[in-house]
């Protein structure tokens, strides 16, 4: 079976199912640094990444934006001095989809090679 970071996002449309509690818990094992949290009333995957220099945080943000365009799945990203917070969720279904876990895994791979 392919690792999550090797997969690509599938088309998520209105009416696509959110992941079940059981599926989410299993998928989280592949992205253990991510947390499931309700933010603005919607369940999202959230992770903070820390950097020493702002330029490194901004470069990381740009890499995530490029990934999002390639996969056609876009997060909310907050870039601050020393920190980037990434929120993945599926806007069309207002919740978590397999795509969010795939993108979290891909984000982790980018961070692995962009770290401080």
8-state DSSP, 7: S
Q: Tell me the C-alpha distance between 77 and 75, whole Å.
A: 6
Please report the pLDDT score of residue 97 as a whole number: 96
In tens, the pLDDT along 57-113 reads 999 999 999 999 999 999 999 999 999 999 999 999 999 999 999 999 999 999 988
**Helix (H), strand (E) at residue 106:** helix 98-112
51, with CB counted inside 10 A (0-12, 13-18, 19+), is buried
What percentage of the chain exceeds 90 in pLDDT?
A: 81
Considering the domain delimited by 19-112, tell me its CATH architecture: 2-Layer Sandwich (3.30)
**Residue 15, pLDDT above cutoff 90:** no
Please report the pLDDT score of residue 25 as a whole number: 96
Please report the pLDDT score of residue 10 as a whole number: 87
Please report the pLDDT score of residue 21 as a whole number: 95
Q: Tell me the C-alpha distance between 84 and 116, whole Å.
A: 12
8-state DSSP, 81: T
Q: How confident is the model at residue 55 (pLDDT cuts 50, 70, 90)?
A: very high
**pTM (2 d.p.):** 0.93
How many other CB atoms are there within 10 angstroms of residue 73's CB atom? 23
Please report the pLDDT score of residue 23 as a whole number: 96
């Amino acid at each position: 079976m392919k690792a999550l970071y090797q997969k690509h996002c599938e088309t998520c449309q209105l009416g696509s199912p959110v992941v079940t509690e059981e599926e989410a818990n299993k998928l989280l094992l592949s992205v253990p640094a991510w947390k499931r949290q309700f933010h603005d009333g919607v369940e999202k995957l959230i992770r903070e990444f820390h950097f020493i220099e702002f330029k490194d945080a901004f470069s990381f943000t740009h890499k995530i934006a490029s990934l999002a365009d390639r996969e056609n799945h876009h997060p909310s990203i907050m870039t601050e001095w020393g920190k980037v917070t990434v929120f993945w969720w599926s806007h069309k279904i207002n919740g978590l989809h397999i795509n969010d876990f795939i993108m979290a895994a891909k984000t982790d791979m980018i961070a692995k090679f962009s770290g401080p």
